[in-house]
Structure 1
């Protein structure tokens, strides 16, 4: 499955999150990654991210592109009151 992952984490956690995401996906710009990943590898990545971030302060957003409208999943704090955007 194709995914886009964006994150907003405290400065001190950025290096660890960046290093982890580079193991699974392609870096496309600051705080943004994309790539193809199997469902099992995505679950593994999410489990590892949950251990790295502070769910009360940080956020990781995963857009799942399955050839249809994307699914949006947020791990941690949602920075926006909107659920969807174009």
Structure 2
């Protein structure tokens, strides 16, 4: 499944969260990652992130399923390219 992850986390925990996310997904913007994950890898990722975040932090996951078509658009500076096109 293709997943887009966004987060709003206290600054002191951001480096730890980013380090974990980079192992699983592509970093496309400051607090946005995306990538293809199996359900097992997604659960592994969530477990690792849960050990870092606190009650006032927020991580959102958006799931893109095969039968849905999404076009990516942007304003301003072009985001970093990924190896996967959605």
Fold agreement, TM-score > 0.5: yes
Alignment partners' CA distance in 2, 1:17 and 1:65? 22
Alpha-carbon RMSD across the aligned residues, in angstroms, is 1.1
Q: Deviations over 1:10-67 (max 9, x none)?
A: 000000000000000000001000010111000000011111000x210000011113
The answer for unaligned runs of 5 or more in structure 1 is: 70-86
Partner of 2:5: 5
Partner of 1:39: 39
Partner of 1:73: none
**Structure with the bigger percentage of helix:** 1
Partner of 1:65: 64
The answer for unaligned runs of 5 or more in structure 2 is: 69-86
SS at match of 1:52: coil
**Computing the radius of gyration over CA atoms, which structure comes out larger, 1 or 2?**
2
TM-score by length of structure 2 reads 0.75
**Structure with the bigger percentage of strand:** 1
SS at match of 1:24: coil
TM-score by length of structure 1 reads 0.75
Alignment partners' CA distance in 1, 2:63 and 2:48? 18
| Residue 68 (structure 1) shift | 4.7
Q: How many residue pairs are counted as aligned between the two chains? A: 68
